[in-house]
Amino acid sequence: MAKPFFITGTDTDVGKTVVAVGVLKKLSQMGKTTCALKPVAAGCEEQAGTFQNDDALQIQSAATTSLPYSQVNPIALERACAPHIAAQYENRRLQLSRIEGICRGVLMQKADVCIVEGAGGWRVPLNERESLSQLAVALKSPVILVVGMRLGCLNHALLTAEAIMRDGVPLAGWVANTLAEPMPYLEENIESLHQRLPAPCLGIIPP
């Protein structure tokens, strides 16, 4: 059974997919077999009669275990907005139990590690009662936090880390992703994260 690692971010567009692909490639270099999941993706384009998401296609390609797209990204929503809102426009209701069931099926693959990429940040809603963070809790998955290095990231990172640990899942580590826009006092902010986040820094990604 594959061991899951859940990748979340301090916000949307902070580089979760970049980190997911990097982790998958590193694990492959270490001789580990991998599979990958992006259970919920909003912002999909129609290809060959089905909606597909570029982030999901990237992690599908980076994994060593070949899975059909429908397993990698079982919920593909057209509109690029919060998943629960995108689902409302398609007259769909997202349910944690269904998403968890699909993920558990993939985790039965003969792979060492399964990288599960979230959508948006830790508390992104699925419906009026459930959030995607509950998937990581249900799977008892350690979490990798991607910090988009920009003004306000210290607060976002610390609050997200607190929420992860309060939910009862381990924070396996964090990655500082230097975004395209230059951040003043970048090194000092990264050092502040080193001092305050209760998990190891797994890497710093340059612009």
Provide the annotated active-site residues.
Answer: 38
Backbone angles phi, psi at 185, to 5 degrees: 60, 45
Helix, strand or coil for residue 12? coil
Angle 137-143-144 from CA coordinates, rounded to 5°: 160
Could you tell me which of 128, 104, 117, 112 has the C-alpha nearest to residue 6?
Answer: 117
Return d(Cα 201, Cα 161) in angstroms, integer. 13
Return d(Cα 195, Cα 157) in angstroms, integer. 12
Return d(Cα 130, Cα 111) in angstroms, integer. 29
DSSP string, 139-180: HT--EEEEEEESTTHHHHHHHHHHHHHHTT--EEEEEEEE-S
Where helices occur in the chain by DSSP H, the ranges are: 16-29, 54-62, 69-72, 83-89, 96-107, 133-139, 153-166, 186-196
What does the block give as tokens for 168? 């009862």
